[in-house]
């Protein structure tokens, strides 16, 4: 009898401890989410689409990998309290200036354009993030800062080679009014990286890294 009573007491204390821990974790999660004074609006631009395949081989198309990554990223960001707008949600072609206009009309805080790379040499590999160097000083500074943060998170998450933060004159980061970056998440023309890009688990790693980077950018 005493043993049964003692077991009941221990079980009650254990359940009480678990409930308390769960409540503490929930409280901390809500506190972190509510500490941000505004809801950031992020535009995700999945590169290419429709007849524009982007970089491709017989086994992998950039336009598809970009869209799949964008859907992962959207889900991660929305769970973290962001408002997310995508320039395309399906396999369709959009002119580059239309993509920039979508971001400008949305009055978003940042634009992230998603791409995967290609090179004549099959040995080329690694990740790189571009920003537009001739933007207004404030936008150039913040775009470069965001590019550096995202690259750091991407390298941590994937273990890939760093090709650095680079200057680029791409329309979607040139014609936008907010801090904008273009992410190249690996080389489709590299056999090892192509296998990764075809794997949804890797695309999700890219998405998680970008989401972590945006958290860092806005919280700092």
**Across-strand partners of 130?**
166, 182
Per CATH, which fold does 40-219 belong to?
A: Aminopeptidase (3.40.630)
pLDDT over 80 (residue 83): yes
Q: SS3 of 51, please?
A: coil
To the nearest whole percent, how much of the chain has pLDDT over 70?
A: 84
pLDDT by residue (tens digit) across 186-216? Answer: 999 999 999 999 999 999 999 999 999 999 9
Instruction: Measure the CA angle with vertex 164, ends 200 and 47; round to 5°.
Output: 45
User: Under 8 Å CB-to-CB from 101, ≥6 apart: which residues?
Assistant: none
End-to-end CA distance of the chain: 59
Q: Left (φ > 0), alpha (ψ -120 to 50) or beta: where does 103 sit?
A: alpha
pLDDT of residue 19: 39
**What residue ranges do the domains of the chain occupy?**
1-35, 40-219
Segment 142-161 shows an average pLDDT of: 98
Q: How far apart are CA 184 and CA 20, in angstroms?
A: 44
d(CA 86, CA 67): 10
Q: Quote the DSSP letter at residue 81.
A: T
What 3-state class would DSSP assign to 44? strand
pLDDT tens digits, 6-48: 444 444 444 444 433 333 333 333 334 536 788 999 999 999 9
State pTM to two decimals: 0.84
Residues 6+ apart with CB under 8 A from 42: 77, 82, 83, 84, 85, 108, 109, 110, 111, 112, 214
- Residue 39, φ and ψ in degrees, nearest 5: -95, 110
Quickly list DSSP for 146-209. HHHHHHHHHHHHH-PPEEEEEE---HHHHS-SS-EEEEEEEETTSHHHHHHHT-HHHHHHHHHH
């Amino acid at each position: 009898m005493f043993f049964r009573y003692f077991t009941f007491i221990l079980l009650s204390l254990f359940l009480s401890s678990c409930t308390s821990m769960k409540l503490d974790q929930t409280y901390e999660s809500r506190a972190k989410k509510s500490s941000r004074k505004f809801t950031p609006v992020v535009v995700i631009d999945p590169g290419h689409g429709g007849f524009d395949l982007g970089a491709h081989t017989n086994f992998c198309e950039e336009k598809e990998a970009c869209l799949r990554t964008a859907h992962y990223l959207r889900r991660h960001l929305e769970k973290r309290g962001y408002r997310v707008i995508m320039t395309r949600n399906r396999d369709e072609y959009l002119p580059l200036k239309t993509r920039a206009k979508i971001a400008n009309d949305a009055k978003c805080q940042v634009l992230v354009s998603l791409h995967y790379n290609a090179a004549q040499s099959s040995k080329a590999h690694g990740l790189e993030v571009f920003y537009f160097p001739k933007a207004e000083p404030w936008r150039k500074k913040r775009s470069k800062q965001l590019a550096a943060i995202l690259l750091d998170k991407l390298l941590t998450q994937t273990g890939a080679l760093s090709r650095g933060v680079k200057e680029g004159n791409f329309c979607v980061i040139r014609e936008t009014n907010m801090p904008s970056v273009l992410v190249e998440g690996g080389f489709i023309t590299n056999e090892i990286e192509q296998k990764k890009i075809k794997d949804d688990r890797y695309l999700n790693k890219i998405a998680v890294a970008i989401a972590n980077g945006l958290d860092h950018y806005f919280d700092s």
